[in-house]
Chain A
Amino acid sequence: MRFFLRKTMETESSVTGGYRRRFTGFLRKCMFSVLSMGPVPNHIAFIMDGNRRYAKKRNLQLGEGHRAGFASLMWILGYCYELGVKYVTIYAFSIDNFKRRPNEVQVLMDLMLEKIDELLKEESLVRQYGIQLYFIGNLKLLSDNVREAVERAMEITAKNNKLVLLICVPYTSTDEILHAVEESCQDKLDHSQAVKQTNGSTDHCNQTSQEDHEHDIKVVDIEKRMYMAAAPDLDILIRSSGETRLSNFLLYQSDKCQLYSPAALWPELGLWHFVWAVLSYQRSYSYFEKKRKQL
């Protein structure tokens, strides 16, 4: 009898659960329709902080907090897609995180491999929504198997065009800028070599100073070489878990964006935090548009 009642209750709760989910989904769609009457952010970035604290709070294993964080990411990605956000950037792994204990770093790398595999399956959000995966950072620091998986994922999803998910791993902003300067300098050195070889040695002195002036390194040269050149300006930067700092993430790109730091740990971040962030952005957007028109 008790078993029958439990089964009935489970059946009812899965039925009512199903109705509840459909109703919540309907409410969410209505809310997003209202939100999209105002300016919709084109590019949102997330610092997904708090997975380990979440695991500790619930007495879970180390990796379970990160798994819960991944599930949260899928929800947030879904909201971004539904609202019409075109670019989402996430801080998956900082170069500074290599300072953590080796077993935790290994857990994270293994989880990344597992999740890349999942994301590329037919039934995943990436396939359903047509999401392009873009891995941003100093990929040379990754182990061979992770780097191969990353490159494969980028290749497979290269033609998707509904939403771009930029996954920063391993990344810091200062490393990104350093890399951009090195690459720009290398470009100019290569170009100067080519010019000198083409022009020969006789007019070398006069031409060198003229060529140097015309091909002086400009800001656009450096910006072109940033890993994040693949994405447009950042509109909102959200950091979960209540910490208010950038931790060396998107420093160059966050000059004008809206910042938001809800207290919720990353696996606890939900629809209302997302809606609040967008509303806050829209309020600020109107203020700055008004100011701009006054000038």
Chain B
Amino acid sequence: MPRHVAVIMDGSARWARRRGLPASSGHEAGVRSLKELVELCGKWGIRILTVFAFSSENWSRPKAEVEFLMGLFERVIEFELQNFSREGVRISTIGDSSRLPKSLQKLLNKAECSTKDNSRLHLVVAVSYSGKSDIAQACKSIAHRVRDGLIQLEDIDEELIEEELATSCCEFPCPDLLIRTSGELRLSNFLLWQLAYAELFFSEALWPDFGKAEFVEALRSFQQRLRRYGSRES
């Protein structure tokens, strides 16, 4: 079983369009898929689940849709906070939180604090996140430490860079399996450094249609793959 699964939850708006519904209905249906996935991950011993809820590029979507999504995040987290504690789910967020509404920032802080000791499943929500910006801020942070004399140039290595990435809050920062729904074959600026050796699985299902059967298919595919990390199997 993979220790860390990452998901690009794509296709909610398309799902709604196909049914003649507004995009908001698609996103609400998407929340139900996420709840089911969180439950399955907890049950099957997956330790970390990272989900791409909102990318930095998504800020350029129509204002109404962005506002709806921010409101949806707040409602869902507020509602699920007690469930998280009961089910041992620890929640963390990664991304540029300064762009989020103040009320959502406050709620996310509260959620992170109140669930930090939960240990059954670590749910990492990427909001206003960009993989490139994540790498860039890690590099800048290291550069500042060199400039300020806190570390030497020779001390910089890949491990140090990884420790500066937003995912350093996780026990295993690098996903073993990345799932992207809706049939799109791209990473869309998600966890670029961290996906160096991840197995990629592309599901044709739109995110609100991604359920237990589709998740099992992704896990089966992962289990059949031979991971060599550049060397040869003996």
CB distance from B164 to the nearest CB of A (A): 10
Q: Does B119 interact with chain A (Cβ within 8 Å)?
A: no
Q: Are A219 and B140 in contact, CB atoms less than 8 angstroms apart?
A: yes
Q: Are B157 and A186 in contact, CB atoms less than 8 angstroms apart?
A: no
Q: Are A243 and B225 in contact, CB atoms less than 8 angstroms apart?
A: yes
Contact of A180 among B139, B147, B192 (CB under 8 A): B139
Q: Give me 12 other A-B pairs in contact (C-beta within 8 A), A172-B196, A252-B192 excluded.
A: A99-B229, A101-B232, A177-B161, A178-B161, A181-B143, A184-B143, A185-B146, A189-B146, A248-B230, A255-B188, A255-B192, A284-B184
Q: Does A257 interact with chain B (Cβ within 8 Å)?
A: yes
Interface residues in A, total, Cβ within 8 A: 48
A94, B202: Cα distance in complex, Å:
25
Q: Does B48 interact with chain A (Cβ within 8 Å)?
A: no
CB distance from B60 to the nearest CB of A (A): 5
Contact of B161 among A181, A189, A248 (CB under 8 A): A181
Contact of B147 among A212, A251, A254 (CB under 8 A): A212
Interface string of B105-134 (1 = CB under 8 A from A): 000000000000000000000000001100
Contact of B139 among A181, A243, A251, A255 (CB under 8 A): A181
The chain A residue with its CB closest to the CB of B62 is: A295
Contact of A295 among B61, B146, B185, B193 (CB under 8 A): B61
Q: List 16 A-B contacts (CB under 8 A).
A: A52-B232, A94-B230, A100-B230, A100-B231, A172-B196, A173-B196, A181-B139, A182-B153, A185-B142, A216-B140, A222-B140, A247-B229, A251-B195, A252-B193, A255-B188, A295-B61
CB distance from B108 to the nearest CB of A (A): 25
CB distance from A235 to the nearest CB of B (A): 11
Q: Which residues of B contact A36 (CB under 8 A)?
A: none
A69, B140: Cα distance in complex, Å:
40
- Per CB-CB distance, the 5 closest pairs between chain A and chain B, nearest first, are A96-B230, A217-B143, A99-B231, A255-B189, A248-B196
Q: Does B201 interact with chain A (Cβ within 8 Å)?
A: yes
Interface string of B192-205 (1 = CB under 8 A from A): 11011111111000
CB distance from A6 to the nearest CB of B (A): 42
CB distance from A211 to the nearest CB of B (A): 11
Q: Does B186 interact with chain A (Cβ within 8 Å)?
A: yes
A254, B178: Cα distance in complex, Å:
15
A contact set with B: CB distance below 8 Å:
52, 94-97, 99-101, 104, 172-175, 177-178, 180-182, 184-186, 188-189, 192, 212, 216-219, 222, 243-248, 251-252, 254-260, 280, 284, 295
Q: Are A185 and B153 in contact, CB atoms less than 8 angstroms apart?
A: yes
Q: Are B139 and A259 in contact, CB atoms less than 8 angstroms apart?
A: no
Q: Which residues of A contact B232 (CB under 8 A)?
A: 52, 100-101, 104
Q: Which residues of A contact B198 (CB under 8 A)?
A: 245-246
Contact of A174 among B147, B156, B193, B229 (CB under 8 A): B193
Q: Which residues of A contact B153 (CB under 8 A)?
A: 182, 185-186, 189
Contact of B132 among A101, A173, A255, A295 (CB under 8 A): A255
Q: Are A222 and B136 in contact, CB atoms less than 8 angstroms apart?
A: yes
A13, B145: Cα distance in complex, Å:
70
